[in-house]
Amino acid sequence: GPYSKVSLMVFLKVLTIHYTCFDSHFPLFKDSAAMSYNLVMKKMRWSNAQAYCRRHHKDLAHVRNQEEKDIIFNIIQNSTETIAWTGFYRDPWAFWSDSSTSNFTNWSNGQPDNFELNQFCARFSGLSGVWDDVVCGTKHPFFCYSGEV
């Protein structure tokens, strides 16, 4: 599709990243690397978002380091969304949806708190860039990734 005002703003903000807008997806491609993150604007429960990502991309997005966090934060800040699912889930907060692991975390103060003992999925705040744990049945837009890990 044609470039949007949002895509041009992102392109100007981050010169080493290419950004294109297609329908309700916001894919972001890192340089010429084989991996991309996609913000899917359709609101789904975590498990439905995971199934969607596995069917149409590779999996829900992982945020394993500061660079990946910055990329995802840049995408969501230049969209109309303020919250989105990632692939992080409680088991015990060691694994991503694609079974990869990481020591990197970016929890909001007091999180994860597992309020009412039923918060097993992590969402990403587009306002602050931090994570919080929430009920997996909540509907949010979500990040998928494609390509190599």
Interval 65-118: pLDDT, tens? 999 999 999 999 999 999 999 998 886 655 577 777 777 888 899 998 989 899
Q: What pTM, to 2 d.p., does this model score?
A: 0.74
User: Taken in order 87, 125, 31, 67, is the CA torsion positive or negative?
Assistant: negative
Q: Is residue 75 part of a domain?
A: yes
Domain encompassing residue 81:
36-91+104-147
Q: Is residue 27 part of a domain?
A: no
Q: What is the mean pLDDT of residues 3-8?
A: 38
Contact in structure between 48 and 103 (CB atoms under 8 Å): no
DSSP 95: E
Please give the mean pLDDT across all residues of the chain: 78
Percent of residues, the chain, with pLDDT higher than 70: 72
Phi, psi of 34 (to 5 degrees): -90, 10
CATH of the domain at 67: 3.10.100.10
Q: Is residue 68 part of a domain?
A: yes
DSSP 51: H
Is the per-residue pLDDT at 137 higher than 60? yes
User: Taken in order 132, 134, 138, 143, is the CA torsion positive or negative?
Assistant: positive
If one counts the domains in the chain, the total is: 1
Q: Is residue 72 part of a domain?
A: yes
Decide: residue 90, CB within 10 A, 0-12 exposed, 13-18 middle, 19+ buried: middle
Cis peptide before 112 (omega within 30 of 0): yes
